[in-house]
Amino acid sequence: MPTKSKFLKRLLILRYKYISEKNFIFLLSLVIGLLSGIVSVTIKNITFTIEAIFEKGIILSQNSIYFILPIIGLFLVYLFVKYVSKKPSGHAIPSILYSLSKRDGILEKKNIYFPLITAPLTAGFGGSVGLLGPAILSASAISSNLGQFLHINRKTRSLLIGCAAAGAIASIFKSPIAAIIFAIEVFSLDLTFASLLPLLIASVSSVITSYFFLGDSVLFDFNVSEKFLIKDTLFYIILGIGTGIASVYFSKIYFGITSIFNRLKSAKHKLIIGGLAIGTMLFFIPPLYGEGFGFINNLMLGNDIEALGNTPFDEHLDNIWIVIGLLFGITIFKAIAMTTTFAAGGTGGIIIPTLVMGSALGNVVAKVINNCGLGFTVSEANFTLIGMAGLIAGVLHAPLTAIFLIAEITGGYELFVPLMITASMSFIINKNGLDHTIYTKELIEKGALLTQDKDKNVLILMKLDSVIEQDFIQLHPEMTLGEMLKNGVSKSSRNLFPVTDSNGGFVGIILLDDIRTVMFDQSLYQSTTVETFMHQAPEYIIYEQDSMQDVMRKFQDSQAWNLPVIKDNKYYGFVSKSKLLTAYRHELINFTS
C-alpha cells in the first residue's frame, strides 16, 4: 500500500509539473474512449458467443423450445445477484444520472464488471433487452474510478463520465456524432469547446477501437437508396404522430408493469411470473427474442417473413394484412417483453428495444399506406428507419440523438428532412404527454435530476449537511430566565436559541431580541421561564425530505434569516440564509468555471 501511494504521488507530481489541465483532460478522454470501446466489444462478444452456442450447438430453436431460454438466463442472473453481488443492479442511465447529481460522479467499482456478466446472461439467453445501457454503465464506472484514482475534481469527473457514455455508444453503433449529442442531451453537459473536444476525442478513439477488434462489421447492413420525396411529407407527419403516441405507450407500459412487479416482495416470485410471461410471448412472437438486430435488418431489406420467424400463423403469411397485424403485435409487445425482463430481475438497456419497436411501427405504417388501395406508395425501408428515430426521440426526449444516430448508422443523410419532421413531432407529443422519461421519472421525484437549468443544477448539487450549523446552545421550556441567561446567553456567541423538550424534540426558538428588555430585571429571573418568551419558527427544514430547492423556497417565503432543521422528529441544527447564499455562490462558481 505505501508503494502504491508513493507511485500515485509521483505520478500526480509529474502530471502537475509537465501536463496542463486541458491537455490532461484530452489525454484522459482518449484513454476513456479506448476503454469504453473495449468494454463495448467485450459485452457484445460475450453475448454473441452465448447466442451462437444455442443457435449452432444445442439448436433449441429447431425444437421449438427456445422460449424457455430467457427463464434460464433470468435464473442465472438471480443466482448471481443472490450469492455474488448481494444487491440488484439499478438501471444504467438513471444510476449514472443520480451519481452525477448526488454522489459527485462517483460510481462503485462493482459497476465495472457486474454489467459484463448480468447483461450477457439476460440478452444472450433471449431476454428482450439491449446491451447499450450496461455498456455505458460499465464504461462510466471505469471513468469514475479512474477519476477518483487521479484525484480529478467533480466537474471534470462528470465530463469524463459523459466521455465514457459517448464512447460506448460510438463503439456499438459506430456513430461518433450521435454519441456526442447523446451525452449532451441525456447527461445535460454544457455544449462548450471545453466539453465538446474531449467528447469528440473519446468518441473517435472508441470507434477506432471497435474497428480494430470487429473490423468493418456494422449492426445495420443497409444503405439508403430511395431519396426523400416532397409528396411524402404528410405521411412522415403521420408517422411522427404515430411514433409519438407509441413512445407515450412505451413509457406508460414501463411504469405500469414495473409498478405491478414492485408489489411482489420476493425476487423468486418476480422471476417465476416474469419468466413465464416472457416465455409465452416468445412462443407466439419469436422476434421478441433477444436484442432484435436481425429483425431490424430483415425489415430494412424487405425480408418480412424472415423477420417474423416461425409463428403459429405461418400458413397465413401470404396475406399482407396478417403480416401487418403480426408486425403491429411486435410494436405492442416489445415494450411489454422488455419491461417484464427488467421486472423479473434481468439487466439490460432500453435503447435497442426502442429501435426494434420503432422499426416495426415504421414498417407497419408504410405497409398500410402501400396497401390501403388509395394508390399511394412510400419506401418501406425509409419508414422503417425513420420509425426508429421517432421512437428514440419520444422515449428518450432526445430528438437530435435520434436524427444523427439513424443518419450515421445507415448513411441516410439524404433523409434528414423526414428524420427531423418525424423526430420533432414524436418529441413534442411525448413531451406534452409526459414530463419525464423512463430515465428521469424517479430522479425528478427525488429532486436529483440535472438539467440545462444552471440555477436548478447548482441547488441539486448542493448538500444540506454542508450548510447546517449545530453550535447552538439548547434551552428547555421549564428553564427559568436566570438559568437561561447563565447557561445559555452568557456561553453563546449566537443570538438564537433552539428550545427542545426532554426527548430532543424541537418546540420553539428564542431570539436575543425577545429577552433584551427583561434580561437585566433580576425580579423576573425566577418567576419567568423560557416558555414565556419562546415562539414558533416561521418554517421548518425536514432533513432527508426537503431538497435544496425546497430549502431556498422556504427562506424566500418566510423571509427568515435562520430556519431549524428537524431530523427524525428531533432538533438537528439551523441553516442560516447567509451561509446558504455563500454556499450557493461557491457551488455556482465551481459549476460554471
Per-residue pLDDT of the chain (593 residues; tens, 9 = 90+): 456 567 667 777 777 777 777 888 899 999 999 999 999 999 999 998 888 887 654 444 444 566 788 888 899 999 998 888 877 777 888 888 888 888 888 898 999 989 999 999 999 888 889 899 999 999 999 999 998 888 888 888 888 999 999 999 999 988 899 999 998 888 877 666 677 899 999 999 999 998 888 776 666 666 776 788 888 899 999 999 999 999 999 999 999 999 999 888 888 889 999 988 998 888 888 888 888 888 888 888 888 888 887 777 777 778 888 889 989 999 999 999 999 999 998 899 899 999 999 999 999 999 999 998 888 889 898 899 999 999 999 999 999 999 999 888 877 678 889 999 999 999 999 999 888 888 887 777 766 666 666 777 777 888 888 899 988 999 988 998 888 888 888 888 888 899 999 888 999 999 888 888 888 888 888 888 888 888 899 999 999 888 888 899 999 899 889 999 999 889 999 999 888 888 888 888 776 66
pTM of the model: 0.82
User: Across the beta sheet with 562-567, what order do the strands follow?
Assistant: 468-469, 570-576, 562-567, 541-542
pLDDT, position 59: 43
pLDDT, position 394: 94
Q: State the Cα–Cα distance between residues 444 and 440, nearest whole angstrom.
A: 6
pLDDT, position 452: 63
DSSP, residue by residue, 54-104: IIIII-GGGGT-GGGHHHHHHHHHHHHIIIIISSPPPPHHHHHHHHHHHST
Superfamily of domain 2-214: Clc chloride channel (1.10.3080.10)
Q: Maximum Cα–Cα distance for the chain, whole Å? A: 104
pLDDT, position 208: 92
pLDDT, position 144: 92
pLDDT, position 1: 47
Helical ranges in 449-574 per DSSP H: 454-461, 481-487, 512-515, 530-533, 548-558
Chain-centre distance of CA 491, in angstroms? 50
Provide the 8-state DSSP code for 464: G
* Burial grade of 515 (CB within 10 A; 0-12, 13-18, 19 or more): buried
Provide the 8-state DSSP code for 529: B
Q: State the Cα–Cα distance between residues 591 and 582, nearest whole angstrom.
A: 14
570 forms beta bridges with: 567
Q: State the Cα–Cα distance between residues 460 and 447, nearest whole angstrom.
A: 7
The CATH number of the domain covering residues in 230-452: 1.10.3080.10
Place of cell 406508460: 252
Residue 315's identity, in one-letter code, is: E
Place of cell 476525442: 201
Going by DSSP bridges, is the β-strand pair 541-542/562-567 parallel, antiparallel, or unpaired? parallel
Q: State the Cα–Cα distance between residues 345 and 78, nearest whole angstrom.
A: 7
pLDDT, position 450: 67
Q: State the Cα–Cα distance between residues 478 and 460, nearest whole angstrom.
A: 40
- Architecture (CATH level 2) of domain 456-592: Roll (3.10)
Per-state percent for the chain, helix, strand, coil, to nearest 5: 70, 5, 25
Helix axes 69-80, 110-124, angle to 10 degrees: 160
Query: Are the C-beta atoms of residues 301 and 222 closer than 8 Å to each other?
Result: yes
pLDDT, position 58: 47
Nearest C-alpha neighbor of 172 from the set 390, 26, 349: 349
Helical ranges in 465-522 per DSSP H: 481-487, 512-515
Q: And the C-alpha cell for 584?
A: 450557493
What does the domain layout of the chain look like in residue ranges? 2-214, 230-452, 456-592
The separation between the first and the last C-alpha atoms of the chain, rounded to the nearest angstrom, is: 35
| Cβ-based neighbour number of residue 403 at 10 Å | 23
Query: Are the C-beta atoms of residues 481 and 515 closer than 8 Å to each other?
Result: yes
- Could you check whether 2-214 and 230-452 share the same CATH topology? yes
DSSP, residue by residue, 18-55: HS-HHHHHHHHHHHHHHHHHHHHHHHHHHHHHHHHIII
pLDDT, position 121: 92
